[in-house]
Structure 1
Amino acid sequence: MSTDTRASTDTERRDGGMAKRVVAESYGGPEALSLIDSDVPAPGQGEVTLRALAIGVNPLDYKLYSGGMGKDPAALPMPVGLELSGTVTAVGRGSEGPAGPLSVGDEVMAYPAPGAYATDLTVPASSVVPKPPELSWEAAAGLLLTGATAVHALTVVDPSEGETLLIHGASGGVGLLAVQIAAASGARVVGTASERHLELVERYGATALPYGDGLLKRVREAAPDGVDAVVDTSGTREAIDASLELVPDRERIVSILAFDRGDTGIKLIGGAPNADPGTQIRAGAWRRLIRLVRQGELEVPVSRSYSLAEAAEAHRFLAEGHPGGKVVLLP
């Protein structure tokens, strides 16, 4: 943070200033997004104001304004986004994050940070943790949401050293982090992905297999001693059917998307009805994630970046389903 920026910021700023912000003006597709000017509230008790330097883009962002999770007219225009990295520009009284007190100039990551698609944002201090210096701003903006999901899934199936873990959708945002976290714990990882991302999955410590016809046979050949647990991030029928054939213990098959397959006995996690939200696990996941980053055992590959004004284009790219890493916005 530059010296002149520090000088213009008070720890109890009365005027929060203005920001550029992306909102959904209506329910629908990316065409509903607009870039507007918006007031930034000054931080109150237990809050901080952040200057965003990179913003994570996630499938949940567009699911919320698509209408598929409900259409409340009162929620419009809807601020978009949930995570970012940046610097603290103002703090309210009692503004202490999970890692300790926060100060102006701190380099941080924030999640959950509703409305994160903005140049400046006031958020609860409880959402803000230190940015590891080992991560770029872009990588840091993509760590916490997908990382918390990966930690949650791995906590459920709990692969131990020497066990074989199958990860479906291993080249996605959650999958790539789950591959690395599981490998760091000593598990042998087999990951499924599209043909074009097999090399990427191999790079992060997994035996990579293409999905599609014959998947079950390929997995059995790659893991002749069997598969002990499964993390599914794809939600496809093929992934779940293969998993049910491979792993007798249904409680060691976890999915973040196959909510229509709960009747099989597999474990469902996330925000859907009857899924385990894992609130405490996810809230504390940042500690494990940062530790692995500092140890050089976890990276956040960034596939593509867009400007804040290109948020709709970023969503169209992400909706294709094969980003091969995180997508970020740069204010």
Structure 2
Amino acid sequence: MPHAIEYDRFGGPEVLEFREIPYAVAGPGQAVVEVRAAGVNPIEWKLRARLRPSGEITAPRRLGTDASGVITEVGSGVEAWSVGDEVIVVGARGAYASELAADASQLIPKPEALSFEQGAALGVPAGTAHQVLASLGVAEGDTLLWHGGAGAVGQAAIQFARRLGAEVVATASERNHAHLRELGAVPVVYGAGLADRVRAAAPQGVTVAVDGVGTDEAIEVSKQLVADPDRIGTIVRGAEADGFGIRYWSGGGPEPLTAAEQALRFEGVALAAELAARGEFVIEIAHRYPLADAAEAHRQSQTGHVRGKIVLIP
């Protein structure tokens, strides 16, 4: 029997249960994917802990949107995919599972050069980074300040921004500075005096900033350094963004992503997969856990000190 991670009540990681589930069935326009790896994203433990609203639980809930695997069945109307195709799944429901049914529109070909773990690590990080940079109009001549450069989204953002011709300053713990330099960013330590350290790192000035960590410091320093508030955004504190006078994308904000923003996210995953297959995009896997150990993966994610991506292996 296939298995999935489910929970019946809000709470800590201990509410996650490893359970047998019915076999997935491909409906019209869908494909069943045998999951080889699933990505863990912070939004998932925030939903589980009820730090983000999601309505009352009336039936067992599953987690996860990012996965990679092999198609084992295709439904009616699916012509672009065949049994045996290796795919990346983006925006699925219940990706913490050994198999799942996904819409054909949620699938991207997994390049042969990418591992299944790398494919599963791309969804939210690469999609978010690409969309946010596009929405902010990041281009050659810009200097981007990204708060939280060592996380999976931050690493993707640094690489995309550098490809666009922008300079990047990224905050991170000192132990992660060498890696961020390799990605093309100028790293700075967060904490007291951050604004002055950023000014020293970018004497030309900062033109655009993104809060990827959710701290007051990230918001305040961004507003100090960037003249145009329309070029400051957050992906963490969306619910408060209007009060700060900055932009937001998800992050608990009241407005969902637009269709154009969703399309940008999907585009970003496909682009990152293509670049990674050519050795032009780094995908760092921080931790690997068996699917049954999803609770431990959430505990690790909740520390806020993960460099790269956590993946689950069914």
TM-score, normalising length: structure 1: 0.89
**Paired position in structure 1 for 2:187:** 208
Matches within 5 A, 1:29-178: 29-68=12-51, 69-74=53-58, 76-96=59-79, 101-178=80-157
Separation (CA, whole Å) in 2 of partners of 1:274 and 1:251: 18
Separation (CA, whole Å) in 2 of partners of 1:274 and 1:79: 23
Separation (CA, whole Å) in 1 of partners of 2:294 and 2:8: 14
Please state whether the residue corresponding to 1:39 is helix, strand or coil: coil
**Paired position in structure 1 for 2:173:** 194
**Paired position in structure 2 for 1:262:** 242
The count of residues paired between Structure 1 and Structure 2 equals: 309
Residue 67 of structure 1, CA deviation: 2.2
Separation (CA, whole Å) in 1 of partners of 2:234 and 2:112: 32
Task: Indicate if the aligned counterparts of 1:184 and 1:297 stay in contact, CA closer than 8 A.
Answer: no
Separation (CA, whole Å) in 2 of partners of 1:322 and 1:246: 25
**Paired position in structure 1 for 2:158:** 179
Please identify, of 57-66 and 266-275, the stretch whose mean Cα deviation from structure 2 is larger.
266-275
**Structure 2: gaps (5+ residues):** none
Please state whether the residue corresponding to 2:2 is helix, strand or coil: strand
**Paired position in structure 2 for 1:298:** 281
Name the Cα RMSD after superposition. Answer: 1.5
**Paired position in structure 2 for 1:285:** 268
Please state whether the residue corresponding to 2:293 is helix, strand or coil: helix
Q: Which amino acid aligns with 2:29?
A: G
Residue 210 of structure 1, CA deviation: 0.6
Change (3 A) 1:173 1:275: farther
Change (3 A) 1:232 1:297: farther
TM-score, normalising length: structure 2: 0.94
Residue identity over aligned pairs, in percent, reads: 39
Residue 297 of structure 1, CA deviation: 2.4
Residue 295 of structure 1, CA deviation: 4.2
**Paired position in structure 2 for 1:20:** 3
**Structure 1: gaps (5+ residues):** 1-17
Please state whether the residue corresponding to 2:145 is helix, strand or coil: strand
The structure that has the greater radius of gyration is 1
Task: Indicate if the aligned counterparts of 1:82 and 1:115 stay in contact, CA closer than 8 A.
Answer: yes
Separation (CA, whole Å) in 2 of partners of 1:116 and 1:29: 19
Change (3 A) 1:66 1:264: closer
Q: Which amino acid aligns with 2:203?
A: P
Residue 120 of structure 1, CA deviation: 1.2
**Paired position in structure 2 for 1:15:** none
Residue 290 of structure 1, CA deviation: 3.0
Separation (CA, whole Å) in 1 of partners of 2:298 and 2:254: 28
Q: Which residue, out of 299, 308, 322, partners 2:305?
A: 322
Q: Which amino acid aligns with 1:281?
A: L
Task: Indicate if the aligned counterparts of 1:154 and 1:182 stay in contact, CA closer than 8 A.
Answer: yes
Please identify, of 207-216 and 256-265, the stretch whose mean Cα deviation from structure 2 is larger.
256-265
Residue 200 of structure 1, CA deviation: 1.9
Please identify, of 240-249 and 261-270, the stretch whose mean Cα deviation from structure 2 is larger.
261-270
Please identify, of 132-141 and 47-56, the stretch whose mean Cα deviation from structure 2 is larger.
132-141
Residue 93 of structure 1, CA deviation: 1.4
Residue 71 of structure 1, CA deviation: 4.3
Q: Which amino acid aligns with 2:76?
A: R
Separation (CA, whole Å) in 2 of partners of 1:162 and 1:293: 25
Separation (CA, whole Å) in 2 of partners of 1:30 and 1:20: 18
Change (3 A) 1:42 1:275: closer
Summarize deviations over 1:91-126 as a string: whole Å, max 9, x none: 111125xxxx00111111001111111111111111
